[in-house]
Structure 1
Amino acid sequence: MVAELGHFALILGFVVAILVTIVPLVGAYMRWPGWMRFSETGSNALFLLTVTSFGALTYAFVVSDFSVKLVWMNSHTAKPMLYKITGVWGNHEGSMLLWVLILTLFGAMASWFGNGLPPTLKARILAVQASITTAFMAFVLFTSNPFLRLDPAPLNGKDLNPLLQDPGLAFHPPFLYLGYVGLSMAFSFAVAALIEGRVDAAWGRWVRPWTLAAWIFLTIGIGLGSWWAYYELGWGGFWFWDPVENASFMPWLLAVALLHSAIVVEKRESLKSWTILLAIIAFSFSLLGAFITRSGIITSVHAFATDPERGVFLLLIMGVFTGGALVLYAARASVMEAKGVFGMVSRESALVVNNILLAVSAFIVFIGTMWPLFSEMFFDRKLSVGEPWFNAAFTPIMVLLGLVLPLGAMLPWKRGKLGRVALKLRVGFVLAVAIGALFWAVQTGRSSLGPVGLFLGAWLIAGSATDILSRGRKGEVLNRLRNLPRADWGKAVAHAGLGVTMAGIAGLIAWEQEDIRVLKNGEQFDIAGYTIVLNGVEEVQGPNYLSTMGDVTLLNGTREIATLNPEKRVYPVAGMPTTEAAIDIGFFRDVYVVVGDAQVGGGWAFRTYYKPLANWIWGGAILMAIGGALSLSDRRYRVAAGARQTPSTTVGVAAE
């Protein structure tokens, strides 16, 4: 009965979503307060119904109700409870229900925290959000029903994909979806503003916290996915430019551009047209990601499903919302007239450059991801675009972005003098050059990537510190820093985090060392000044897997640093092996050990990596997320931006 309750709640939610799509739009057009207020009541009801549906599916997984087909296909009684719960979204149908849940959550939050919005705008925002929810509820109900029953019920399940039975990947999808789906709020704000015929500084203030929240979640989700790939897959990499990885990275890049562009709308009432377009395209790329992941049109190790029918449905959703929004965008071009005027050397110009570089980088990733498909469709040629192409095309754009970011962050609004800003940054620039030169000198003729990356990282960190310290006159710095808005601190921390990540990526790629060999018990070898000793390999029984576990000692000279236990697991129910790398984590390096198969002549295959600055990659991502959270906690976002509307406007709407 619980599964039927969840199914019924989803159907009822679909009906409510249709009503919330239509009634508030009519109410806003006719200026009927009651109909407009229905958007809030309906959004809350929609959220509660979706929570009920998702809760029912979760219950089915927790109690191992194998009469539900989805539970039978993705669970097992021997599976640990954590993975029973995360199995809810470790499949296509459940993950799409999670997608709908997050859509309704953001709609409900807009009704809770949007009291300062003009009533007509708020009603239209919630109606647009409900229209997206309607489309995805239809997708779930008609193509991906998670509540289908089996009769008779099997005695046990087929188990979850073993690669997903990991803490890192257990929490990766919810964060990623909070980011993906969170961009729907920016889309709803943009479309509602176009319908309203009003894009102004207040709109820029309203849309920023929603975009910032989505970007924070995307940052955490991408970071978790990268970290999981690093230690779980056993290949030692952190990014493969896989189509599904790219599908999350493109919205992230566009969300960064949207955040910076919205600042210009808020401060100067410029770039309105571009900002609205970014809000539309950013969410469109989220829809593209759903299409890539679930249509089977592009092969990926991360893909959820390969059903063409689902792909066509998702393509239709993407076409309707993206196409409809762009038609409305063209029709409302007159309401997006820029008011602010600024010089060539100004913060506005720097943010335009920032947006151009981010948009170009997203376009590069899009071309590389979709080109194999375009090539096969239009030229009847099968091509692949791999890591070398992405690195060659994408890296120069990021280098340019890293170079201009500290300068642009310190330029004043409207007009400024580049020489004055450069003078303030001279110490940071000299320090960054010195760090890059030092590593260039000691690396003895290797790639220039490492020194250049460390220079950029140091330049961004030093630029962020200089920006903060320059906010007060000598003798007043501490008092001024104490009173700085959290958004300023957030900007500095996020920019510094980008610098840390850049340095980590460059150092890892430039100076990584790899060793592959066969080891017998008691044998040892050296890598990057460390000694690896194999003590033995044994078979271990896990809760729902069998493990071949190595016992490895890591020495620095004669001093023992760590005992490492790399594993090769086999999950009997799923019939699938996984690799569990053993990593000694350090601030400046990782030592990474993977055990392979037993060899015919005796011994075991071992792969060992020395990875300098590896954890700086994820440390930088954490700093970026912290910077975003600091900005989001700024008092200016907590106080309703809608206070800018005049009392007469509110009274007039209520009277009508």
Structure 2
Amino acid sequence: MIAELGHFALVLAFVVALLQAVLPLVGVHRGHLALQRMARTMAPVQFLCLLLSFLGLTWAFIHNDFTLDYVSRQSNTQLPIQYKISAVWGGHEGSLLLWVTVLSAWGAAVALFGRGLPREMIARVLAIMGMVNVAMMAFVLMTSNPFRRLLPDFPMNGADLNPLLQDPGLIVHPPLLYMGYVGFTVPFAFAMAGLLGGRLDSAWARWSRPWTVAAWSFLSLGIALGSWWAYYELGWGGWWFWDPVENASFMPWLAGTALVHSLAVSEKRGVFKAWTVMLAILAFALSLLGTFLVRSGVLTSVHAFAADPARGLFVLGILFVVIGSSLLLFALRAGHLNSESRYQWISREGFLLANNLLLITATTVVFLGTLFPLVADALKLGKISVGPPYFNTLFTPLALVLLAFLGIGPLTRWKRHDLREQVPPFLKIAVASLVLGVGLPLVFASGLKPLPTLTLVLCLWVFLNMLNDIRVKAGTAKQGFAAGLRRLSASYWGMQLAHTGLLVTVVGIALTTAYSTERDVRLSPGSRVEIQGYGFEWAGVRSYAGPNFSSEQGEVRIYRGDTVLETLYPEKRRYNVRGQVMTEAAIDPGLFRDIYVAMGEPLEGNAWAVRVYVKPFIRWTWLGALIMVLGGMFAISDRRYRMGARASRAIPAGEKA
């Protein structure tokens, strides 16, 4: 009965979304105020319906309702309760239901927090978001219905959740990733609403910007959690493997980063309007493309949910219709997107444009590396593998150039700037960056390596320039330096935090890639090996039974000299239902290094093959992402982006939503 109610709520949400997509636009066209206001009512109603549907599916998982085909394939009576809940989005159908639920949540948030926006603008934005959800809910209902029954014959026990997904990280990773992934629908809807209404001014950019930063922050956190999960769960100790499905979320992140910067220019100076609209379309298009890649079966990955070409074609059709119509609208209205001011290349606008071009070039590199093997296979050109060498060779130089611009761009003035006045401080900072960037690896590492040293020098160059900019801006306050710091806006601190987080992540990637040590060793009880100044002693193996698995658990003592630093317990688990064997790595974490141990296969003489890593600065990869997200939160908290207050001053009271 609960499943039927969930299905009914899904169908009702589809009807509400259809009305939300049509009636507000009719109201705008005819000047009918009541129809326009309906958008703000229907968006929360759609969310409530989808939330009820999602809770209905969750109830079915918790209560082992194996009469539902989806539950029977993704769960089992032995599955712990927390994984029964995460199994709701562990497969194709449930993940799509999560997708549309998250999109409706964004729509409800726009309706709630966009009260000060012009009535016609909010009506158009919510109508466009309704159109997208109509298409995606049609996909769910027609090809991927999670409420399909298996009656009268159904299994007494389910097939179980993929053991790779039975992990705490996978409980929070997909919802957060979807919040960012799907969140780029909001700036897309604002861009399309602006084109339809002919209003793409500074106010439009201001309204779009906090939603874009919010989506970007969620996506940053979701990607970081996925990378962290792959690091400790897959057993190979990698921070990033250029996995095609990971690339599917990385591409909209790159485009979204460019969009955040472009919106800043459009808001401040009234330029780059056409470019900003194109970036909004691109970020959304890449999000839909990621949905196609994950659910079409064209990619092989632990993250891919479906292997049904018919489903993939449905998503591909949505992609072509939505993006094709948006590009057509852009082409029809692009001639009216004139800049409100002029600028010279040596200015903040010029550097931000260079920043955008580099980010889009990087996006193109990832796009081609991810899609080219699929295109070659479709054209019968043979199986082509594109791996880390391609990405590292082309992506790394772009990232280094981007760092060089990042050290200069935020320090320049709008419209025009004379760099000659900043040559003295730039030279001092360049010398300090070079000395520190070369000196630190000589003192604390095993020697200089060209690429990480260059990366460290550039990151220090950016960071010291940021500190100098804070010093200069705060030092101009008459009340003193401390008062000057307090006067700096939340959006300014958000920018600095986000840039700092990026630097921390880049340093972590560069140093762990260059200075990590990996050894495969044979260990028997009582034996010991020395790796990078650490001793690893194998104490033996014990067996124990988990809730739905049996485990062989090793015991490894970590020594520094004769002192035991830590005892680690790596595991080999065999899951009861599927019989699948999983490696559970054991990690001694630290701010400056991780010690990582993973069990291989048993050997003769009661010995085991063991893989040992010493990975310096690996935690900085994810620490930087957290700092970036914190920067996004600071930027959103700026009072300029409090929708009601700001927009109310900008528009007549009679035009408010």
Residue 205 (structure 1) aligns with: 206
* Counterpart amino acid of residue 471 in structure 1: K
Residue 650 (structure 2) aligns with: 645
DSSP 3-state at the match of 2:542: strand
Residue 610 (structure 1) aligns with: 614
CA contact (8 A) 1:585 1:591 kept: yes
How far the C-alpha of 1:62 sits from its partner, in A, is 1.5
Residue 264 (structure 1) aligns with: 265
> In the TM superposition, what are the counterparts of 1:152-191 in structure 2 within 5 Å?
152-191=153-192
CA contact (8 A) 2:452 2:510 kept: yes
Q: CA RMSD in A?
A: 1.6
DSSP 3-state at the match of 1:87: helix
Task: Measure, in 2, the Cα distance between the counterparts of 1:351 and 1:618.
Answer: 26
Task: Measure, in 1, the Cα distance between the counterparts of 2:541 and 2:427.
Answer: 56
How far the C-alpha of 1:189 sits from its partner, in A, is 0.6
How far the C-alpha of 1:457 sits from its partner, in A, is 2.6
CA contact (8 A) 1:66 1:153 kept: yes
Task: Measure, in 2, the Cα distance between the counterparts of 1:61 and 1:424.
Answer: 62
How far the C-alpha of 1:589 sits from its partner, in A, is 0.7
CA contact (8 A) 1:193 1:199 kept: yes
Residue 331 (structure 1) aligns with: 332
Residue 71 (structure 2) aligns with: 71
DSSP 3-state at the match of 2:195: helix
Task: Measure, in 1, the Cα distance between the counterparts of 2:311 and 2:487.
Answer: 53
How far the C-alpha of 1:299 sits from its partner, in A, is 2.2
Task: Measure, in 2, the Cα distance between the counterparts of 1:286 and 1:492.
Answer: 27
Task: Measure, in 1, the Cα distance between the counterparts of 2:88 and 2:109.
Answer: 24
Task: Measure, in 1, the Cα distance between the counterparts of 2:484 and 2:3.
Answer: 58
CA contact (8 A) 2:648 2:656 kept: no
CA contact (8 A) 1:531 1:556 kept: yes
Do residues 458 (structure 1) and 463 (structure 2) align? no
**Any gaps of 5 or more consecutive residues in structure 2?**
none
CA contact (8 A) 1:468 1:492 kept: no
Task: Measure, in 2, the Cα distance between the counterparts of 1:255 and 1:524.
Answer: 49
Do residues 503 (structure 1) and 507 (structure 2) align? yes
* Counterpart amino acid of residue 494 in structure 1: A
Residue 352 (structure 1) aligns with: 353
**Of residues 471, 474, 477 in structure 1, which corresponds to 2:473?**
471
Residue 129 (structure 1) aligns with: 129
> In the TM superposition, what are the counterparts of 1:256-655 in structure 2 within 5 Å?
256-378=257-379, 380-439=381-440, 441=442, 447-473=449-475, 476-640=480-644, 641-647=646-652, 650-651=653-654
Between the two proteins, the alignment pairs up a number of residues equal to 652
Residue 25 (structure 1) aligns with: 25
* Counterpart amino acid of residue 564 in structure 2: E
For residues 496-554 of structure 1, give each alpha carbon's deviation from its aligned partner in whole angstroms, at most 9, with x where no partner exists: 11111111000011011111011100000111111111111111211111111111111
How far the C-alpha of 1:420 sits from its partner, in A, is 3.0
Task: Measure, in 1, the Cα distance between the counterparts of 2:352 and 2:380.
Answer: 39
For residues 226-260 of structure 1, give each alpha carbon's deviation from its aligned partner in whole angstroms, at most 9, with x where no partner exists: 00111110111111111101000000000000000
**Any gaps of 5 or more consecutive residues in structure 1?**
none
DSSP 3-state at the match of 2:525: coil
For residues 57-87 of structure 1, give each alpha carbon's deviation from its aligned partner in whole angstroms, at most 9, with x where no partner exists: 1111112222222111111222221111111
CA contact (8 A) 1:74 1:160 kept: yes
* Counterpart amino acid of residue 148 in structure 1: R
CA contact (8 A) 1:597 1:605 kept: yes
CA contact (8 A) 1:508 1:613 kept: yes
CA contact (8 A) 2:255 2:360 kept: yes
DSSP 3-state at the match of 2:383: coil
DSSP 3-state at the match of 1:79: coil
How far the C-alpha of 1:439 sits from its partner, in A, is 4.5
How far the C-alpha of 1:431 sits from its partner, in A, is 3.0
How far the C-alpha of 1:560 sits from its partner, in A, is 1.2
Residue 116 (structure 2) aligns with: 116
DSSP 3-state at the match of 2:408: helix
How far the C-alpha of 1:350 sits from its partner, in A, is 0.8
Task: Measure, in 2, the Cα distance between the counterparts of 1:363 and 1:652.
Answer: 41
* Counterpart amino acid of residue 195 in structure 2: L
DSSP 3-state at the match of 1:19: helix
How far the C-alpha of 1:473 sits from its partner, in A, is 2.4
Do residues 148 (structure 1) and 148 (structure 2) align? yes
Worse overlay, 173-182 or 635-644: 635-644
CA contact (8 A) 1:594 1:606 kept: yes
For residues 255-314 of structure 1, give each alpha carbon's deviation from its aligned partner in whole angstroms, at most 9, with x where no partner exists: 000000001110000000000000001000000000000101222232100101100100
CA contact (8 A) 1:77 1:156 kept: yes
- The verdict on how the C-alpha distance between 1:570 and 1:537 changes in structure 2, with shifts beyond 3 A counting, is same
- The verdict on how the C-alpha distance between 1:652 and 1:581 changes in structure 2, with shifts beyond 3 A counting, is closer
DSSP 3-state at the match of 1:88: helix
How far the C-alpha of 1:639 sits from its partner, in A, is 4.5
* Counterpart amino acid of residue 190 in structure 1: A
DSSP 3-state at the match of 2:239: coil
CA contact (8 A) 1:523 1:533 kept: yes
How far the C-alpha of 1:644 sits from its partner, in A, is 4.8
Task: Measure, in 2, the Cα distance between the counterparts of 1:652 and 1:467.
Answer: 41
- TM-score of the two chains, using structure 1 as the length reference: 0.97
Task: Measure, in 1, the Cα distance between the counterparts of 2:472 and 2:656.
Answer: 46
Task: Measure, in 2, the Cα distance between the counterparts of 1:449 and 1:233.
Answer: 27
Task: Measure, in 2, the Cα distance between the counterparts of 1:491 and 1:421.
Answer: 21
Worse overlay, 597-606 or 310-319: 597-606
Task: Measure, in 2, the Cα distance between the counterparts of 1:290 and 1:184.
Answer: 13
CA contact (8 A) 1:461 1:500 kept: no
- The verdict on how the C-alpha distance between 1:449 and 1:540 changes in structure 2, with shifts beyond 3 A counting, is farther
CA contact (8 A) 2:118 2:651 kept: no
CA contact (8 A) 2:67 2:149 kept: yes
- TM-score of the two chains, using structure 2 as the length reference: 0.97
Residue 51 (structure 1) aligns with: 51
CA contact (8 A) 1:545 1:571 kept: yes
Task: Measure, in 1, the Cα distance between the counterparts of 2:258 and 2:549.
Answer: 45
